[in-house]
Amino acid sequence: MTTFSRRQFLFTASATALTSPALAQNIATSPDELPVCVFNKPLQHLSYEEQAKLVAEMGFVGIEGTVRANGHVSPDKVTTDLPKQIKALRDNGVEMNLMTTDVNNAEDETHRTVLKTAADLGVKQFRMGSIKFTYDRPIPNQLDEIKATFEKLIEFCRPLGIQPLYQNHAGAGRFGAGLWDVYEVLKDCDPNDVGIAFDIRHAVVEGGQSWPTEFHLLRPWFGFVYCKDFEWKDGSQKPSNVPLTTGQVDYPAFFKTLKKSTYTGPISLHMEYISHKDPELLDDSIAAIKADKIALDKLIQG
């Protein structure tokens, strides 16, 4: 654990949370050349080889790959299947830039195996599993417990050379929905050890116009940025996912803020407005991902 002054030095000196040489593969030289990978959840009906070839053809640097329950790699088969997926990706010139998992503690043996296997294969960052509050105990006490869990996970991951990231996700009871709770847990942590996958869609759902405050609060810990969009439909209180730049997220303002912060880390494109569960919708999903990438490339280059 480091002091606030140390963390601020890292931020101002490097202008990115990804200061570790081990994470350099995911860093661009300019905010106008941010590396973009794709969340592979809609593409899980493809084989590892088919998916890798498609991702390369679409111009992504790689994937955010699911290694979790109902993922493209099942955690109980990680030692046999993840090497196959990584080989298929690298044979096509792309990478698993981020691994998405159910891992949220270092005590579970399956979690430990997933992390060790991924680290041995050269995966440098993973998204943690979601954590939820209960309402039968004081929230501050639960935050203390979450912080202790993070500390143990960091200690396990540091010697492996793999960095945990926590995604802010909208929803009742979710740790990280409001982002200030994540700050309370991360504020004494070195950004080289742990970070956040900053999801602007979920930040706008929960924070509305306040997202720039949360952005700047947690900017030193940005390890990844997630891009997707939503709208409020037919008076519903629940957000509905829509194509990128067509919804409530003010993407020109977001990218202006992102570039001004000199962020040069990776972006993961999430296409979640077409069901990933129906294999008959695979072609529609691929077309939607291609369209969203065109919109995202314009935002990055503009």
| pLDDT tens-digit readout, 73-111 | 999 999 999 999 999 999 999 999 999 999 999 999 999
Tokens 């390369």 correspond to: 56
Q: What is the pLDDT of residues 151-168, one digit of tens each?
A: 999 999 999 999 999 999
pLDDT interval class at 302 (50, 70, 90): confident
Question: Is the confidence at residue 205, as pLDDT, over 70?
Answer: yes
Question: Is the confidence at residue 280, as pLDDT, over 90?
Answer: yes
pLDDT of residue 40: 98
**Percent of the chain at pLDDT above 90?**
87
Q: What is the pLDDT of residues 291-300, one digit of tens each?
A: 999 999 999 9
Is residue 90 within 8 Å of 65, Cβ to Cβ? no
Q: Give the C-alpha distances (Å, rounded to integers) separating 243 from 29, 198, 291.
A: 28, 19, 8
Torsion sign, CA atoms 60, 291, 301, 165:
negative
Helix (H) or strand (E) holding 52: helix 48-57
Is the pTM higher than 0.85? The answer reads yes
CATH superfamily of 4-13+32-301: Divalent-metal-dependent TIM barrel enzymes (3.20.20.150)
Q: What is the pLDDT of residues 109-136, one digit of tens each?
A: 999 999 999 999 999 999 999 999 999 9
- What is the C-alpha separation between 62 and 52, in angstroms, rounded? 8
Alpha helices in 158-250 (DSSP H): 180-186, 200-207, 211-218
